[in-house]
Structure 1
Amino acid sequence: MTMERNAFREQLNATLQRNLTLSHPLFPLLLDAHNPDIDLLRKVALQGYQLTRHFLTYVEHLFFYCPLPRHKRHLLFNLFEEETGRLSRTKNHVHLMEDFLRALGISDQQRDATLALPATRELINYRLDACTNPERYHIGAAAVLVASEGQNLETLGEEARHTILGRVYGLQEKDLLFFSVHQKEDVAHVRQGLDLVADLCTTERMQSEALEAVNHTCRLFYGMYEGIYQTLYSPESGYA
């Protein structure tokens, strides 16, 4: 049975909230103030950069294919900010992430030579395949605008991840702009994403597919962290 629009929206949000990736055992290692592991943070950051490089492509396609004018305008603002940083008075969001990598001591050459791990690539491709297929638009919107944007809103207690990272690793506010900008903006982006997907999904099948997209995308994020975690204990890593 097709859910009423607002009930479906609430279900989308509940699905997001049930799939918090901060529960992964990678994060206690990463955020341990007594034993900061900069090499681990660099591994995580370099995989995160693989995601950031593709995000604008997702939003571009979601904007282009959006069938609802009101939501298309919201996506245009999202696209404009990702590309220019003008709304947050910063800069292009990929460049903000590059600033973070440099603050960790990662050279541009090392950054550009790093490849996505298999689990990271799976997450990238799942969203790309959905966003570039108009017939799967509702799946792409749920995966990117709800599940992916929602990742930036997770906290430990009342603190955001990047706030703890800054304290543990001695990073300055300017080094963390990528995260602080997204934490502020993604509150609105997730709200708009929930509204868009709720308005789009007018059949039981579409609603079911969108809910599964949120669930699956969050699992893929967890899988990305698991992929990084497993590299720590491979014989080649030096951690084993």
Structure 2
Amino acid sequence: MPLARAEFRTELESVLHNKLTLSHPIFDILFDPAQPDIETLRKVALQGYQLTKHFLEYIETLFFYCPPGRNKRRLLHNMYEEETGRISGTKNHVRLMQDFLRALGIDDDVRDSAAPLPATRELIDYRMENVKDPARYHIGAAAVMIASEGQNLETRGAEARDTLFKRVYGLTDADLLFFSVHQAEDVQHVQHGLDLVADICGTDQKQAEALYAVEHTCDLFYEMYEGIFRQYKAGTL
């Protein structure tokens, strides 16, 4: 028998918050104020950019397949902000990430020639395959709207990514708009994702698959950082 909607929604949120990727040791290196490591940050940022390039397509596809009603309207607002930045008063979110890369000293040619590492590619493909299959819509929604949007809500201690980058690397608020915008916007987006997935998972199987999708997507984020970290330890980063 499936969980009641409210109980299932709470369980989805609990899985998300129990899978914190900012605990990965790569962030001990990135956020060490005594020894800022701009080169490693550049490598991590370039992998993050591989994810950002695909995010609008995830949201567009989820919108396309979403049943009419409140959840579809919310996805429309999310899509509009990703594409234009007008709700937050900024700009297209890919352009915000490009601004961050330039602030790190990464020129556009280097940015555009960068390729995803295998673990990064696995994360990209897992989400894309699920959002594009109507039969796995609930899995794609859980992976994107809960697990992926939820990454931007994580903090180390009481500090968010933008605060840490500003303090450790001397970046400006304008350089870090990609992170501060998502830190604010994704609080609501995750709540909307929890509502959407709770609404469409009315069977034991769908609930189990959605819970696994949240857990597995967070694990894939962790593995992406692990792939970078392995190169760092091997001296090949």
Shorter-chain TM-score range: over 0.9
2:205 is equivalent to residue 205 of structure 1: yes
Say yes or no: does 1:96 pair with 2:87.
no
Query: 2:106 and 2:230 mapped to 1: Cα distance?
Result: 21
Give per-residue Cα distances to partners, 1:177-222, cap 9 Å, x unaligned: 0000000000000000000000010000000000000000000000
Letter in 2 for 1:70: R
Residue 225 (structure 1) shift: 0.2
Partner residue, 1:119: 119
Runs of 4 or more above 2 Å deviation: 233-237
1: CA distance between counterparts of 2:93 and 2:236? 33
* Alpha-carbon RMSD: 0.8
Distance of 1:183 and 1:64 partners within structure 2: 26
In 1, Cα distance between equivalents of 2:196 and 2:31: 35
Using the size of structure 1 for normalisation, the TM-score is 0.97
Q: Aligned partners of 2:41 and 2:73: how far apart in 1?
A: 36
Q: CA deviation at 1:233?
A: 2.3
Aligned pairs for 1:1-240 (under 5 A) are 1-237=1-237
Q: Displacement of 1:68 after TM fit?
A: 4.0
- Counterpart residue type for residue 136 of structure 1: R
Name the amino acid aligned to 1:81. Answer: E
* Residue 135 to residue 220, structure 1, CA distance change in 2 (3 Å): same
CA distance in 1, matches of 2:220, 2:117: 12
Gaps of 5+ in 1: none
In structure 1, what is the Cα distance between the partners aligned to 2:235 and 2:34?
26
Amino acid at match of 1:188: Q
Give the number of aligned pairs.
237
**C-alpha separation in 1, matches of 2:111 and 2:161:** 22
AA aligned to 1:197 is V
Deviations 1:129-165 (A, max 9, x none): 0001111000000000000000000011211022111
Unaligned runs of 5+ in 2: none
Task: Work out the CA distance in 1 between the residues paired with 2:31 and 2:235.
Answer: 24
Q: Which amino acid aligns with 2:199?
A: D
Classify the secondary structure of the residue corresponding to 1:198: helix
Report deviation, 1:235. Answer: 4.9
Deviations 1:68-90 (A, max 9, x none): 42100000000000000010110
Q: C-alpha displacement at 1:236, in angstroms?
A: 3.5
**TM-score (structure 2 length as normaliser):** 0.99
Q: Distance in 2 between matches of 1:3 and 1:43?
A: 42
**Secondary structure, counterpart of 2:88 in structure 1:** coil
The CA distance in 2 between the partners of 1:236 and 1:123, in whole Å, is 22
Distance across 1 between alignment mates of 2:24 and 2:86: 34
